[in-house]
Amino acid sequence: MHNQSLNTNNNKFLYIFGLITLIYIATTSYIMIETEKKEQEEKLKLEQQQKEREKEKQVKIEEKEQKEEKKEFNKPKQMNSKEDVEFKDENNSDNQEVINNENHDTEENGEEGGESEECDQEENGIEEDEEEYEGEEESIEQFSMFGVSIEKLMEFQQQEDAENGEDIDEQDESNRVPIVLSFMLDRIKNLNGFETEGLFRVNGNLKLVEQLATEGFDPFSDDLDTNVHTWASLLKKWIRDLPEPIIPSELNQTIMEICNNKNFNINSCNSSISSSNSCEIEKIEETIRSILEMVKPDEHKFVLYRIGLFFGEMLQDENVQKTKITIENLSKIITPSLFKPIDLENGSGNNQLPKFASALDFSNIMSKQKKEIEFVQLLLIYFKYEYFRNLQLEKEFKNSNINDEEIGDQEEEEEDEEDQKE
């Protein structure tokens, strides 16, 4: 009996184990099928977008050709003056008529030759216009928002605004930085990036990042990727691909000397805003302000300030609890993008990390950039408190406006009461 019960239990165990195995296999198969479907859908979307772009290009070329044809068709024709001449003298001799006819024929031939030359010139002109149009189209396509200096991006942006007749408000911060940067920062915030764990630490779809960087993207499209990690990776790539770093390379030595001369207690500032060392923060703020003043040209300073405040907002205490990204974490993540990593072979600066860098290479690069990481920590501490101060000022300003309105309403009520009494 005992053996029978054991056999029964074993059979039950094997049955349950087999059932669990089948469920696991079925679930795994389902997940694989679903992922394959999603990949196929993404591929189809990308193909459709590419086809639409090609159609748009073809439509533009056809519109240009139609405009040129209309211009040629509507061009006024030269009248043949000899055909319109009326010979009033009917009593001329036959010789005179022959001479006139000969002159008439020779002039007609000359005019036909002139007209054919004009047609050839017009055709050549159309071809030249088409070549110019194609050249313009190529130059527009070749102009990328990635791997281009901040100065060139701003120059291109200002030219476009001027051509569109838009009034440029220089006091507006959005007009001081490249529009692609503002869009990426806003995109990350709108996709709830500050509530996403591992923001900037977790990589997005790297293939899509490369595609967005090389082919560009329509900011108004409904088909834009909604993965916040992809846009965070794209932002890091934009910063990393700048020909000249946001903080110019010639300032590196000066920055390192300033930071070495002052012993900062960074750990005392990494805690929450309420419990941080105020004296140490003041020392850091004074140092960073002096360094920010040295950043030239102004376009670089504006970009650094815009990105800095973005990270400052991300590092507010309530956001850190959700992202799990502290000042120390973030400094290690963004330092290779802000500063050109050291080439391990010859020690020279290189603005791109190897595509398949080993963990050992990355740790070596990080050890070479130890001072830069410390500086970025100071920079992040500065912007964390700068953002907090700006937020407090905004609140005070709103409250003062509300109080002014309330006082104004009270005065109006008192005046109305006095008028009623009178």
Which tokens hold the place of 55? 């159609």
Decide if 297 contacts 236 (C-beta within 8 A).
no
Q: What is the dihedral of CA 102, 104, 109, 112, to 10 degrees?
A: -170
- pLDDT band for position 91 (cuts 50, 70, 90): very low
Sign of CA dihedral 356, 361, 363, 365: negative
Over residues 294-319, the mean pLDDT reads 96
3-state DSSP call for residue 277?
coil
Displacement of CA 41 from its chain's centroid (Å): 25
Given its phi and psi angles, is residue 276 left (phi above 0), alpha (psi -120 to 50 degrees) or beta?
beta
Q: Compute φ and ψ for 36, nearest 5 degrees.
A: -60, -40
Decide if 379 contacts 292 (C-beta within 8 A).
no
Decide if 322 contacts 194 (C-beta within 8 A).
yes
Lowest mean pLDDT among 145-154, 170-179, 363-372, 392-401: 363-372
Which tokens hold the place of 188? 């990350």
Task: Note the pLDDT of residue 322.
Answer: 97
Query: 420 or 328, which is more confident?
Result: 328
CA distance 153 to 179: 9
Token look-up 């007009």 returns 175
Displacement of CA 353 from its chain's centroid (Å): 21
Over residues 5-20, the mean pLDDT reads 78
Query: 166 or 256, which is more confident?
Result: 256
- pLDDT band for position 271 (cuts 50, 70, 90): low
Statement: the pTM of the whole predicted model exceeds 0.75:
no
Lowest mean pLDDT among 29-33, 180-184, 399-403: 399-403
Q: In whole numbers, what is the pLDDT of the chain averaged over residues?
A: 76
Over residues 377-392, the mean pLDDT reads 93
Decide if 32 contacts 197 (C-beta within 8 A).
no
Displacement of CA 415 from its chain's centroid (Å): 55
Enumerate residues 6+ apart whose C-beta is below 8 A from 80. Answer: 108, 111
Q: What is the pLDDT of residues 102-138, one digit of tens each?
A: 444 544 445 445 544 554 554 555 455 545 444 444 4
| Domains within the chain, CATH numbers bracketed | 169-405 (1.10.555.10)
Over residues 326-330, the mean pLDDT reads 95
- pLDDT band for position 344 (cuts 50, 70, 90): very low
Q: Give the C-alpha distances (Å, rounded to integers) separating 374 from 233, 310, 384.
A: 22, 19, 15
- pLDDT band for position 293 (cuts 50, 70, 90): very high
Lowest mean pLDDT among 89-103, 163-177, 319-333, 400-414: 89-103
Which tokens hold the place of 306? 């815009």
CA distance 182 to 166: 18
**What does 152-194 look like in DSSP terms, one character per residue?**
HHHHHHHHHHHHTT----TTSGGGTS-HHHHHHHHHHHHTTGG
Burial environment of residue 292 by CB neighbours within 10 A (0 to 12, 13 to 18, 19 or more):
middle
**What does 200-215 look like in DSSP terms, one character per residue?**
TTS---HHHHHHHHHH
Measured in Å, how far apart are the chain's first and last C-alpha atoms?
111
CA distance 221 to 181: 17
- pLDDT band for position 411 (cuts 50, 70, 90): confident
CA distance 320 to 129: 57
